Amino acid sequence: MPINFFRHICTPNDALITRISPPESLRDFVEGFYLFKTQDLYGRQLFFNDGYPVITLMQHSASKMLINLKGDIINIGNAWVCGGLLKNIYCESSISTEEFFVIRFNPITFFKLFNISENVFKHKPVFDLVEIVTDDFSVFNNDFYSNASIEHKVEVATNFLSQRICATAFPNLLGDLINHIEQGRSLTVKELAKAFGVRLNYKWLERNFKKHIGVSPKDYLLLRRFLNAYRSLDSLSSKALLQTALEHGYYDDNHLIKDFRSFSGQSPKAFFQNINRT
């Protein structure tokens, strides 16, 4: 998703985003349905994921976007999937739609729901939904766009996902770990393991993160740290880099700049200057 999505998702009562809670039957799989207004998306957009895979449906079934995957330009259609560790990936075309409908999935159960490998995002973090929903994509796509109301879209998405539910098991501790990370309580794998004491060891942590979430605990913490730092910089007109770096677990401002370049291809200063010019 465009990284601006996460600015709004964390702001209660934001005018540009509407969240609808999933029904009880889907809550192990879906974090929420979102209608995201795109009026603040201008020019080239950095794509990012916060560890929660998403399916995004554009406003019109004929919509398309150009995505730059580290130099390779790909054309994606109206319905696409995004997840894993996104680095230096941009939308190159203008956002020719007024809104996105976003389904945000719980990272622990996403792969089971679609019966796909946990490594699916490793080399291709953004791709068309039809690649993993081959048999019933056209039916879902036609139903989804047959009515423009958000109530209809939620109903169609709910029915589509409910048909895919199967019995799935995952360690309850993994859910506790994700919630712990979401609250910003651990900055390193060592701190995470220490916080839960005898309940886990590093090998268990590494194995189960990769099995159920598709990334290592180190990478999951890395992307959460960057996103939190990005949101802080995005909200500060002064862009207090060193203070932000230390608050979010970086050694210093150079450490943050290096991480920012890795994820966006630019320094924080250049990135926010480009945003302000668009």
Q: Where are the domains of the chain?
A: 4-162, 172-277
- Check residue 277 and give its pLDDT: 47
Buried b (16+ CB within 10 A) or exposed e, 108-133: bbbbbbbebebebbeeebbbbbeebb
Q: In what order do the strands lie in the sheet with 72-76?
A: 45-46, 89-91, 65-69, 72-76
- The answer, yes or no, to whether residue 57 has pLDDT greater than 90, is yes
Prediction pTM value? 0.89
- Per-residue pLDDT for 228 more than 80? yes
Asked if the model's pLDDT at residue 51 lies above 70, the reply is: yes
Task: Give just the sign of the alpha carbon dihedral 132, 137, 143, 148.
Answer: positive
Q: What is the pLDDT of residues 235-244, one digit of tens each?
A: 765 558 888 8
Model pLDDT, residue 52: 93
Share of residues in the chain with pLDDT > 90 (%)? 33
Predicted confidence at residue 123, as pLDDT, reads 82
Quick: pLDDT tens for 166-181.
756 677 788 888 888 8
Flag whether pLDDT at 15 surpasses 70: yes
Give the model's pLDDT for residue 199.
60
pLDDT on residue 234: 82
Of 75-84, 109-118, 162-171, the poorest mean pLDDT is in 162-171
Q: Give the angle subtended at the CA of 122 by the CAs of 274 and 161, to the nearest 5°.
A: 95
CATH topology of domain 172-277: Arc Repressor Mutant, subunit A (1.10.10)
Q: Is 25 a residue whose pLDDT tops 80?
A: yes
Q: What is the model's pLDDT at position 32?
A: 95
Do residues 23 and 158 make contact, with C-beta atoms less than 8 angstroms apart? yes
- Rounded Cα distance between 253 and 17, Å, is 32
pLDDT at 200 over 80: no
Q: pLDDT category, 207, cuts 50, 70, 90?
A: confident
